[in-house]
Amino acid sequence: MKLIQCRLFSGQRVPLLVQTGDAAPLPILVPFIYVQLKLRSRAYSTAAAHLRAIQAFYIYAQSRDLNIDDAILACHFEAILALLDGYAIWLQSGRQADNLVARIGKAETAPFPQIDPRTRDQYLRLLKQYLSWCVTRYIPRARLNSTTLANIESVFADVADVIERRFESHIINARPDRTRYRSLTGTQLQIIRTLIRPGDAENPYWRNTIYHLTGMSDVQQALALGRKRLDQNVYYQHTTIEENTAAHQEFLAFNNHHERIDFLHTGIRDKRIQGTLTDSYHSLLSDKGVITAEAFLTVHATALHVTPFGGCIHDFSQAPCPKHLQCWNGCSHLHLMGTPSERANIERQAENLTTAITIMRDAGAGEAGNDVWLADQEDKLNNLKTVLARDTNAGVQRVFPNGRPMTVADTDKRHSSVSDD
């Protein structure tokens, strides 16, 4: 008796338990039906694990002159269960290897080393599932013409109960040597069911992203995907900047501007927020005292914007962001590459800027610094439109031939009045 792999015409792999010695071996009947009916939607490795457990029991029963298939079809489950005590002992200490000893001119069997109690328990649990399925399938059919329906149900219940009790008396229930973590919540499961499309080939590659979006910790993600290092998770989390920003903003929600600034100031004082601003505050605190340090905090820590890369403290009411789309402010380093998606991306950026300018004009009228913001955004939009007016498929070309580099030499940078960092 051996376990082989069969590949169907559709390409699906199916494990089969067959007799040895035949030129064209046929599958053993009941395990074959079990795989086709009970395990047809399970992975190949799962079905093969079930068959290995069944194979071990069939081999043991064969050594005791009992054909398990014949006993199942005749509903002689009492004869099958009578072997269980000896099988449980044989499984852990008396099995014989199916492979041959690697000696030239000699073929003999060698005993297996003692198996782990958890592996033994797994064999017994899989065999219990198999025999319980056989009871549900074959007992009613064998007795249908000889007993009433009530008697059928009684016999079935008795045999099922005996199987349950006999197997539980042999299963050790060894505890695994690892920490257990909480399961997914109902909300997280609903998100996963919504995002996964049944049968989609891309599902395995999206699992890490989905786990990340549902709020699973890095430890849980690594355990679910079989990774040994937590820092590998980030390379499989294919989330967008918008999704990361939304997750961070939902984590830190403020009711008003004062709450936001209080959070910033407290974090700087307690060193829970790191950066140049925190270093400068504590340097002033130790050198010049609390009054000077708090005055510095009041003047310089006036804004907090949550991003996936950290907290930005730039005050947008004073000036536009010095980093946002600066390439389109006439940077001489910017080049067009002539790729197919390049023009579509530029058109999308122009649409976004047009929408932003419209909102700023409607909602920001009369606000301090609004005119500076509008002028900056309109300059970028005009430069985008200038590029769209030319042929973008002409290969590599400089966008602003007469532009200036947006990168500033360190000697020309304006430094903080309190720090040279």
Cα gap 227→229, rounded to integer Å: 6
User: Is residue 230 very low, low, confident or very high in pLDDT (cuts 50, 70, 90)?
Assistant: confident
User: Is residue 410 very low, low, confident or very high in pLDDT (cuts 50, 70, 90)?
Assistant: low
3-state secondary structure of 53: helix
Average pLDDT over residues 327-334: 86
Cα gap 37→70, rounded to integer Å: 19
Which three-class secondary structure string do you get for 378-410? HHHHHHHHHHHCCCCCCCCEECCCCCECCCCCH
Residue 234 has pLDDT above 70, yes or no: yes
The residue among 84 and 147 whose pLDDT is bigger is 84
For the chain, the average pLDDT equals: 75
Q: Which of 54-63, 235-244, 396-405 has the highest mean pLDDT?
A: 54-63
> Which conformational region is residue 335 in: left (phi greater than 0), alpha (psi within -120 to 50 degrees), or beta?
beta
Closest CA to 96 of 129, 67, 66, 55: 55
Phi, then psi, of 10 in degrees rounded to 5: -75, -10
Average pLDDT over residues 194-208: 59
Residue pair 59/1 in contact by the 8 Å Cβ criterion: yes
Dihedral over Cα of 193, 228, 237, 43: its sign: negative
Q: Which of 96-110, 129-143, 283-297 has the highest mean pLDDT?
A: 283-297
Residue pair 300/277 in contact by the 8 Å Cβ criterion: yes
Cβ neighbours of 34 (radius 10 Å): 22
Cα gap 269→91, rounded to integer Å: 65
Residue 353 has pLDDT above 50, yes or no: yes
Closest CA to 417 of 283, 229, 254: 283
Instruction: Provide the residue ranges of all domains of the chain, joining segments of one domain with +.
Output: 2-168, 186-239, 253-315, 325-411
Q: Output the pLDDT for position 205.
A: 55
Structure-token pair, residue 184: 């997914």
Cα gap 57→119, rounded to integer Å: 14
Cα gap 128→125, rounded to integer Å: 5
The residue with tokens 């069969």 is 6
Q: Output the pLDDT for position 221.
A: 82
Q: Which of 246-250, 269-273, 305-309, 388-392 has the highest mean pLDDT?
A: 269-273
Q: Output the pLDDT for position 280.
A: 92
Residue pair 87/57 in contact by the 8 Å Cβ criterion: yes
